[in-house]
Structure 1
Amino acid sequence: MRQIRRRLAFAAAFVLLVLTCGCGPGTPEKITLTVATFGQFGYSDLLPGYQFTHPGLTINQVRTEQGGPYHQDLLAKLQSGQGLADVQAVEEGHLADVLAQSAKFADLAKVGPADVKPGRWLEWKYEAGRSKDGKLVGYGTDIGPLAMCYRKDLLETAGLPTDPGSVKTMFATWDSYFRAGERYVKRSHGKAWFDSAAQNFNAMVNQLPVGYLDREDRPTLETNSALRAAWDQVTTAVAQGQSAGLTAFEDDGNNGLRQGAFATKVCPSWMLGAIEQQAGVGNAGKWAITDAFPDGGGNWGGSYLTVPATSEHQKEAAALAAWLTAPEQQLHAFRVSGNFPSQVEAFASPDLLSEMNSYFGGALSGQVFVAQARKVGKPQYKGPGDGKIQEAVIAPALKSVEQGADPAAAWQQVLTGVRRVVP
């Protein structure tokens, strides 16, 4: 029934587009635009509609299944200056490497449609798409506002509260979260509170005013006391047995979801689909979600559409990117792929606000993540190498702690590793 509703909604939107567009002046010459994306952006049935209303325009979508290989290829093409699409998607974890090369991209504030204003997006989403010199490199697509997911049955067995309103107290701060985890481990006779130290630490770091790098792209780990404090909190929790020591999205992490190996999980909006897919039908209704996250809001995930300077049709490419990131199209992308929109107007959509997730006990997930998205403050600056620090330095060091390494020695390993990434 829901799929029928989605198809009808899209059909109505498409008819409205044709009637209201009037096809404009069209495209005065035959133009081909290439759009490069990864994973699921929800654009497959949008692009034909845009092409239909723009005579002379052909759109080719090139989609890579996995984001890792896609971004490796993107960075290689930026270095060579060849093979780039007219519209290139960029995931926020790789955005710093793109913003550091802003000269290789069109300024969308100049080549994009004049009616596309910053107020279309949440302020923090818009600002994160600008380079240090003020160039608007990317139009925001989706976001990953953070909430907390938890297993109701496991918390109940341990004598902890389970309804979304009551658990908010446990998830109010990282201090209260880890205190609850300590109680859970004791009451459950050694079962884990969360899946991975790296997942929690990543979320904690993203909430800080300054992360791994300052705005001059200098590493901050030796001077940023908040980073060390977060490290100490997480590794103390590991020592208490709170971490299952799993690797998210790998076989052990997926098996952990199916087997109920941990009770709570850091939960950006897109994680709901991942949990449902990996935990399986046998765990339907056992998971819940609350509109709370330790120490306020946060974001993990989301992407941008950019126009490389090598495009021969920058204005047309920018117009297409602007249309794809308008509220109407982003709501459609949400319906078909679950990508949570970053556009302010979309947050008032009845479709979004009435979104109910039966796997998570009928939670109004749209309302949960709208509330969480509004809590996110100023975007943290992320310089080139930020993602590599997290993935290639921090995560392995925390994994070693989960396997028994001394946290202080692992921190020294982190400092050494960061110097290799950012000399």
Structure 2
Amino acid sequence: MNRTTKILASALATGVLATVTACGGGGGSTGGSSDEVTVLYRPGSLADSAVAGVQKAFPDAKIKLVKTADVDTKLGAALRTGKDLPSIVTADPIRYAPVGSKFTDVSKTGFTAGVAAGYLPWKVELGKTDSGAQLGVPIDVGPLAYYYNAEAFEAAGLPTDPGAVGKLVSTWAGYKSLAQKAKAKGKFACDDPAQLFYYETWSKAFGFYKKDGDKLVPDIDNTIGKTAFDRAMDFQSSDLCLNVPSSSNDWNSALNRGTLIGFLQPPWVGSGSLQTAVKAQSGKWRVATATPDGYASADGSMLMVPKTSTDPELATKVAIWLTNATNQANGYVKNGLFPSALGAYVAPEFTAPQPFYGGQPAASILAEISKKAPKIVKGPDTDSINAIFQQAIRDAASNGADASKAYNSAVDKATQQFGK
């Protein structure tokens, strides 16, 4: 899932859930016969091979694929009315936990413990409710790595070996030193300081929620978040970052001008957007595994099966096939979707040296990060709360607010909207 899609989905989800919860509505059906399986999915959320091959894989079923960027709005409306619900949908089980009773526990319809063992354990766990129901079949994840132009690093007097760069970036002091040296040469080794905040919280498994007995409650003003905010603000106020969102036109332009020579990002940016933006720089880029203060990964999406599915066992089988190791390996090579299926990590096309990264087996490097990343403690509004803090960091770049003022303002806003 690309970054823009994730942000849009996050923004929609809170309103969708509020509406669904308020209106209730759990009846209705998908309509049609039991051999019909409708898959509602976002562009770029499923591998091309999965989309192209699913009907052939299930010749006795009638597979209908519905691609839309507006999944959360359509799903929310369908949940509210109980009509036109798909058999399978790409969604985030955590966001839909408040209406989790409307979805199938796929552990009882085919996603058994044996099947689940083929996916990253922490990713599987993110699909479970507090009661232990498994609401999702894993699709992609987003291991965080440091991407850099080795040729530009050498010209700036910086190390070029991935191990040496990784060692520097493995601490915030080391990363700041690297960014300062790049800046002295008129270059940037950081793109967006607001993203640094988010990535630090990932590495600490912090998603603005905490356990309070059997409940998951908001935890907005937290030491982990405050430390992450201050570090990001330090980079921002020291002008160590380019201060542009990843994958934007300004970001692409800075890469092509050679101004932006390194950054921390998940693979949909580091592999997808990067390779699209700077094809002429193929062979010059490298990937370093270490990131400041530990490994981290975005959680990505899952396939969920509404309870109104006419054949939940068939729908679950289709969801498992769509996310199998072969399709997920293909999804990375062709679509930039990083796999959660462990079998994909040993596929030949996945482990092959990548010319863009100077022959580095970049995917295998990212796989090690995925395996070591912690499970983030998330709640329905995690991404919306995070967006408030990120915006505060970006706003400070223009309004000159210091770290303390910007942080307190973000805490107040997030608490007012999501603190109850």
Normalised-by-shorter TM-score class: 0.7 to 0.9
Shift of 1:80: 3.5
> Which residue pairs with 2:81 in the alignment?
80
Equivalent AA in structure 1 for residue 273 of structure 2: A
Given the alignment, which residue of 319, 329, 332 partners 2:330?
A: 332
Shift of 1:113: 5.3
Given the superposition, is the C-alpha separation of residues 410 and 79 from structure 1 closer, same or farther in structure 2, using an over 3 Å criterion?
A: farther
CA contact (8 A) 1:243 1:402 kept: no
Given the alignment, which residue of 373, 381, 387 partners 1:385?
A: 381
CA contact (8 A) 1:171 1:294 kept: yes
Given the superposition, is the C-alpha separation of residues 30 and 123 from structure 1 closer, same or farther in structure 2, using an over 3 Å criterion?
A: closer
CA contact (8 A) 1:96 1:386 kept: no
Given the alignment, which residue of 357, 362, 368 partners 1:360?
A: 357
> Which residue pairs with 1:274 in the alignment?
273
Give the 5 Å matches for 1:13-412: 31-46=35-50, 49-52=53-56, 54-64=58-68, 66=69, 69-90=70-91, 94-112=92-110, 114=112, 116-185=114-183, 187-189=184-186, 191-215=187-211, 216-222=215-221, 224-271=222-269, 272-278=271-277, 280-354=278-352, 356-377=353-374, 379-391=375-387, 393-403=388-398, 404-412=400-408
**Cα distance in 1 between the residues matched to 2:103 and 2:364:** 35
Equivalent AA in structure 2 for residue 83 of structure 1: D
CA contact (8 A) 1:116 1:322 kept: no
Shift of 1:116: 4.5
Corresponding residue SS for 2:383: helix
CA contact (8 A) 1:139 1:304 kept: yes
**Cα distance in 2 between the residues matched to 1:140 and 1:225:** 31
Shift of 1:135: 0.8
Corresponding residue SS for 1:96: coil
**Cα distance in 2 between the residues matched to 1:400 and 1:39:** 30
Equivalent AA in structure 1 for residue 409 of structure 2: Q
Shift of 1:218: 3.1
In angstroms, what is the RMSD of aligned CA positions? 2.2
CA contact (8 A) 2:40 2:71 kept: no
**Cα distance in 1 between the residues matched to 2:330 and 2:245:** 32
**Cα distance in 2 between the residues matched to 1:269 and 1:284:** 16
Given the superposition, is the C-alpha separation of residues 285 and 46 from structure 1 closer, same or farther in structure 2, using an over 3 Å criterion?
A: closer
Corresponding residue SS for 1:121: coil
Q: Percent of aligned positions with the same letter in both sequences?
A: 26
**TM-score (norm. length: structure 1):** 0.83
Offset from partner CA, 1:40-95 (integer Å, 9 cap, x none): 2455544564434544411011112x4xx3334333433333332101012xxx44
**Cα distance in 1 between the residues matched to 2:118 and 2:174:** 36
Shift of 1:34: 0.6
CA contact (8 A) 2:94 2:126 kept: no
Given the superposition, is the C-alpha separation of residues 113 and 397 from structure 1 closer, same or farther in structure 2, using an over 3 Å criterion?
A: closer
CA contact (8 A) 2:192 2:245 kept: yes
Which piece of structure 1 moves more, 196-205 or 329-338? 329-338
Equivalent AA in structure 2 for residue 323 of structure 1: W
> Which residue pairs with 2:4 in the alignment?
none
Any gaps of 5 or more consecutive residues in structure 2? 1-32
Any gaps of 5 or more consecutive residues in structure 1? 1-28
Aligned residue pair count: 382
Equivalent AA in structure 2 for residue 372 of structure 1: I
CA contact (8 A) 1:42 1:336 kept: no
Equivalent AA in structure 2 for residue 347 of structure 1: Y
**Cα distance in 1 between the residues matched to 2:80 and 2:220:** 29
Equivalent AA in structure 2 for residue 198 of structure 1: A
Shift of 1:173: 1.7
> Which residue pairs with 1:421 in the alignment?
417
Equivalent AA in structure 2 for residue 368 of structure 1: I
CA contact (8 A) 1:172 1:293 kept: yes
Given the superposition, is the C-alpha separation of residues 318 and 243 from structure 1 closer, same or farther in structure 2, using an over 3 Å criterion?
A: same
**Cα distance in 2 between the residues matched to 1:256 and 1:159:** 20
**TM-score (norm. length: structure 2):** 0.84
Equivalent AA in structure 1 for residue 390 of structure 2: A
